[in-house]
Structure 1
């Protein structure tokens, strides 16, 4: 019995790792399609490759994804970026960014996810008004420094510390590249640079309601085609 349980655990872990690799490969393909296959000239691609290597994604998978995105590998399955919006449990606004090779599969799956968690998927723009579009950078820096001073000197609007020792910087969308360059010159190792959403007014929830919402967001995040999830929390 114990041995069977251990084998089942290994299979589950392998499946989870495979799902992670698939999502990372899609981001690499989309980045290569958007900005070209050269990571030195495509910062989004470079960051996507770094993220893949960080979790030991096979080099063959990375190279195949780059070729696929650059149009050098025609397997008949183009990756599209699609955004879905709606209300989750207790009226929480939710935006889900997906990367998929079959939107006819993804749309009904997403609709079912909302409906099965007492939510409702809406039309484009139905909850986007509840969010601000921002630029988000994440990075680390050695030595002693004042985070607020780093944000000011780098041109960021806000900075927050993460539990792992990294920091998040928020900018206006149009300032993302300039702030990244400024922080890099100040000795920051940037590990994330992307457009993001932040809620204008977080939805007020009880502890029990928050559990319902977090369960829903976790369900969305685990879906194969999900890339990023944002909520008014």
Structure 2
């Protein structure tokens, strides 16, 4: 399962692409359309899979205007997977060096480390929530939040909704939850396919940076993860994502280029809201958005 087809998920430079190989990054929030192909499937509806858009904090270079956001995102990610102490977390230590080199304020650094632990700088716990909406072109959205002020974040969401004619709407039934695992290491692709399938995984693919991304049922995340570790791979990330149901996709030929550009701008505006962690959609564009 690669991040869903009009799904937004992590990395590299093009905001939208129809490539069958999703890209991942860690230095910024980014939106990428994924239309990965499945190597194996138990469902007849899994063609053109992962039709969702996922917005996430990525792992790659970003333009100058978003450098601070990118640096903070990398600190958040490093803190989340390795802990808040840079002495015992080399990845965080490296992120802090880059942040200081680029003059990221100490307050931003402290906030990013805390956020990676699910906390505010005062130690209060951040709240997770998912908002449902119907956006431009009739695409359904799920918006994952991680915020210290849910009410305030919802107000900001609705301001963006109003600008683009989006509305609150029940859309969760259009999506399924999936586990997503990211591994580091080298392994033969056939062995990877066999081990993933035997352990109950849904799909996998190798990213351009050499990492392996694997999708599973939520309940199978540990089983699949343990099986792939036996291949000598190291688990780098683990999270739950949303996959748009294939039979609930907005028809590809019903979303024109103009609407696609509107959707891209809409998603970018959502991504600029503090507290928005990820955005998922159930649309695939007939033409790539460049």
Map of 1:84 onto structure 2: 131
The aligned residue for residue 209 of structure 1 is 259
State the match for 1:189 in structure 2: 234
**Residue 23 of structure 2 corresponds to which residue in structure 1?**
none
Answer yes or no: is the 8 Å Cα contact 1:23–1:225 preserved in 2. no
Which runs of no fewer than 5 residues in structure 2 stay unpaired? Answer: 1-62, 101-105, 284-290
> After the TM superposition, which residues 63-102 of structure 1 pair with which residues of structure 2 at under 5 Å, given as runs?
65=113, 69=117, 75=122, 77-102=124-149
**Distance 1:157-1:52 versus aligned 2 partners, 3 A rule:** farther
2:204 corresponding residue in structure 1: 159
Q: Which has the higher contact order (CA 8 A, sep 6+)?
A: 2
Q: Distance in 2 between matches of 1:52 and 1:207?
A: 43
Instruction: Give 1 or 2 for the bigger CA radius of gyration.
Output: 1
Equivalence for 1:139: 183
Give the conservation status (yes or no) of the 8 Å contact 1:131–1:199: yes
Tell me the SS of whatever aligns to 1:156.
Answer: coil
Q: Secondary structure at the match of 1:229?
A: strand
Measure, in 2, the Cα distance between the counterparts of 1:84 and 1:160: 29
Matches of 2:138 and 2:234, distance apart in 1: 38
Query: Residues of 1 paired with 2:141 and 2:70: CA distance?
Result: 22
* Residues 27 and 98 of structure 1, relative CA distance in 2, 3 Å threshold: farther
Q: Which residue of 2 aligns with 1:199?
A: 244
Structure 2 counterpart SS, 1:107: helix
Q: How does 1:16-31 map to 2 (within 5 A)?
A: 16-23=66-73
1:131-180 Cα offsets, whole Å, 9 max, x none, are: 01111112343253224224214431112343444332111111112212
Work out the CA distance in 2 between the residues paired with 1:96 and 1:89: 15
Q: Using a 3 Å threshold, how does the CA distance of structure 1 residues 228 and 90 change in structure 2: closer, same or farther? A: same
Q: Deviations over 1:80-133 (max 9, x none)?
A: 1121110110111111111111223211101111221121123xxx10000011
Pairwise mapping of residues 34-49 of structure 1 onto structure 2 (< 5 A)? none
CA contact (8 A) 1:52 1:62 kept: no
Q: Among 243, 264, 268, which residue is 1:218 paired with? A: 268
Tell me, what secondary structure is at the counterpart of 1:115? helix
Q: Structure 1 unaligned runs (5+)?
A: 1-11, 40-45
Contact 1:138 1:167 in 2 (8 A): yes
Q: Scaled by the length of structure 2, what TM-score is found?
A: 0.58
RMSD: 3.6
Bigger helix share: 1
The 8 Å contact of residues 75 and 95 in structure 2, kept in 1 or not, is answered as no
TM-score scaled by structure 1?
A: 0.70
Q: Give the structure 2 partner of residue 103 of structure 1.
A: 150
